[in-house]
Amino acid sequence: MEARATFCREEINSTVWEVPEKYTHLKQIGTGAYGCVCSATNEKIKERVAIKKLHRPFQSEIFAKRAYRELRLLKHMKHENVIGLLDVFTPVSSLDDFQDFYLVMPYMFTDLSKVRGHLSEDKVQFLVYQMLCGLRDLKPGNLAVNQDCELKILDFGLARSTDAEMTGYVVTRWYRAPEVILNWMHYTQTVDIWSVGCIMAEMINGKTLFKGKDYMDQLTQIMKVTGVPGPEFIQKLDSAEAKKYVKALPHYPRKDFSTLFPLASANGIDLLEKMLVLDADERPTAELALEHPYFDSLRDPDDLPEPEPYDDSHDNAKLSLEEWKRLCFRGVKSFVPFPRRDSKRKNTLTMTP
């Protein structure tokens, strides 16, 4: 945040916003339980941004902890395929007056769920490649794309967190890995590879691959494609109930993916077959998936910087409201923007609204 910025007050949908004067043309684009988001223009660099104002972040310890965690996560994310922070500010200069802070992120054109219809193979390649690049230490929540077909992961929780209340991470059932649905066995990082496979399949075929009406139906839909697993896999299951359930299933053979995805290339089909495997231990990690020939035309070593470990020491801390507030204030005041890398890859793809 720059020194001595001049702030302007504006009321938007009965909420007072106080932002540095360089941010203009505020317009609400989203609202939820924890805050609302406006699009705005950064007049200094003529760039469209999204500004999030948290809803009364210090009304309780849980809200203050959530606010601090969101700030910490966004400050930590320094990958071009993950929504990170461009700026963070508060209109006040002292902790005593501190009540609100605002998070500034890149403005994204649409979310992936609105990108309907059959996408051309080069678009699918580019989007799946970016998902896997951004996935190496994250769980995807929402996936957003801008007009240049650049994708970012936003609104995520970290893979090791189990506190859904804190992370707000809820995956639509249709994209959930089978081991999550039945709580079968240990989760590995390939739980997200399944989700990427489902999204890739949907982009190729223009419709949801596994559209279960409930969890059991979801599982049946999955087995009709992957086939019912053999005894080796059943042995791996932790729960006796899960073993019994799988043994009782009718015998579904594995479907031929080239029939299932007639529009996909041979490499695309091969990658989908590797990602959509029932046994999580058999799925590739994000790093391995990125080495697949499907991405030969896109691969750039600069896309895969070594991720810094996330310091989660505060995630389970029990602190007072005042202590969470002090941590938030310090986090806001110490923010330094991450210098953005100019992509060497000239992206010629565009998304149509």
Of 307, 285, 310, 289, nearest to 298 by C-alpha is: 289
Of 239, 137, 229, nearest to 182 by C-alpha is: 239
Q: Give CA–CA dist 223/276, Å, rounded.
A: 11
Token pair, residue 99, equals: 């009540």
246-303 confidence digits (pLDDT tens): 888 888 899 999 999 998 999 999 999 999 998 888 999 888 999 999 998 887 666 5
User: Would you name the residues annotated as active-site residues?
Assistant: 137
Which of 138-152, 167-181, 308-322 is least confident? 138-152
Q: Give CA–CA dist 299/304, Å, rounded.
A: 10
Determine the residue type at 220.
T
pTM flag (> 0.75):
no
Burial class (CB in 10 A: 0-12, 13-18, 19+), 299: middle
Own/partner pairs, 333-338, CB within 8 angstroms, 24+ separation:
333/1, 335/1, 335/75, 335/85, 335/87, 335/88, 337/85, 337/86, 337/87, 338/78, 338/84, 338/85
The structural domains of the chain, ordered by start, are: 7-107 (3.30.200.20), 110-303 (1.10.510.10)
26-74 confidence digits (pLDDT tens): 998 877 667 888 989 999 989 888 898 988 899 999 889 888 888 887 7
- At 277 the pLDDT is 92
Over residues 198-212, the mean pLDDT reads 86
Q: Give CA–CA dist 135/200, Å, rounded.
A: 14
- At 270 the pLDDT is 97
- At 327 the pLDDT is 93
**Percent of the chain residues past pLDDT 70, beyond the cut:** 70
Q: Within 13 Å, how many C-alpha atoms sit on residue 6's CB side?
A: 3
